[in-house]
């Protein structure tokens, strides 16, 4: 059987910075029970660390390369998965607030994972909403991240995972110079959620970029789904404005 050091070098050469015993067995052509013993040796010799049971992060001779890359670690724990919400807004420079939790979208159910003081939170979305991401390289490691338009839509869909509606509104206004508005509208239609479209339409109009092609909710929609549905009703977008525009877009901010 290969030594732990030579195995670590082989994994690094193949850029396999995340592995399971099953992957080791496949790569090295060894039996599964041997692979489990080898993974344990890698861990014991400090060449790997176990993030979850049976899921290992390769440390090798450059441990900080992976340990300092929480988006990469989070994205490896379940498949399919991409980084989104507050994490993607921060990655794209659309928020100045650095979230303490890494947020990812997945079509599966997965409990939060805490690793070395960092929490990874997985938001389960319907299959029709799982799109709009691209491969980025962070510290030379591949990570799937929501693009700017999808990061905003995911965040508007679930603002509690993006610092709240105020943070999402700020991100939307910050992104207008780089956003493809047609793509944003197409994405919104693809999400198949008229409540989301109504909130998006209202906010786009508030930042001076009104659109006429978004589907509108049949019933009243709370602008901020985290607040009580009380406030002025906007008949154009069928939105109950339960948070003021002044609060969403403070003068002199952004």
Q: For position 169, which CATH number holds?
A: 3.30.460
- Do the domain assignments include residue 253? no
Range of the domain at 52: 4-63
State whether residue 31 is helix, strand or coil.
Answer: coil
pTM of the model: 0.93
- Do the domain assignments include residue 254? no
Res 1: pLDDT: 45
Whether a cis peptide bond, with omega within 30° of 0, leads into 186 is no
Low-confidence stretches of the chain (pLDDT < 70) are 1-2, 251-254
Same domain as 162, residue 238:
yes
Same domain as 133, residue 228:
yes
CA dihedral sign, ordered 84, 87, 91, 94: positive
Number of domains in the chain: 2
Q: Which of 115, 112, 106, 23 is nearest to 68 (CA)?
A: 115
Same domain as 79, residue 43:
no
φ and ψ of 147, to 5 deg: -70, 175
Domain edge (last residue) among 63, 87, 114? 63
Q: Which of 31, 27, 3 is nearest to 15 (CA)?
A: 27
């Amino acid at each position: 059987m290969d030594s732990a050091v030579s195995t670590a070098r082989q994994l690094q050469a193949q850029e396999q910075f995340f592995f399971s015993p099953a992957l080791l067995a496949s790569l090295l052509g060894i039996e599964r029970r041997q692979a489990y013993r080898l993974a344990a040796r890698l861990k014991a010799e400090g060449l790997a660390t176990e993030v979850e049971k049976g899921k290992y992060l390769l440390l090798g001779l450059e441990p900080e390369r992976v340990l300092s890359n929480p988006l990469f670690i989070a994205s490896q724990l379940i498949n399919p998965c991409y980084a989104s919400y507050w994490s993607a807004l921060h990655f794209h420079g659309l928020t100045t607030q650095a979230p303490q939790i890494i947020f990812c979208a997945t079509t599966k159910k997965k409990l939060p994972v805490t690793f070395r003081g960092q929490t990874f939170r997985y938001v389960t979305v319907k299959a029709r909403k799982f799109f709009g991401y691209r491969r980025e390289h962070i510290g030379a490691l591949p990570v799937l991240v929501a693009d700017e338009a999808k990061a905003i839509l995911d965040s508007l869909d679930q603002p509690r995972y993006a610092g709240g509606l105020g943070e999402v509104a700020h991100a939307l206004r910050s992104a207008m110079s780089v956003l493809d508005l047609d793509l944003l509208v197409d994405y919104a239609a693809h999400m198949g959620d008229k409540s989301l479209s109504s909130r998006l339409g209202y906010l786009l109009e508030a930042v001076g970029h009104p659109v006429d092609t978004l589907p509108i909710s049949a019933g009243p929609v709370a602008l901020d789904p985290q607040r009580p549905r009380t406030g002025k009703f906007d008949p154009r977008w069928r939105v109950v404005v339960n948070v003021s525009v002044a609060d969403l877009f403070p003068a002199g901010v952004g």
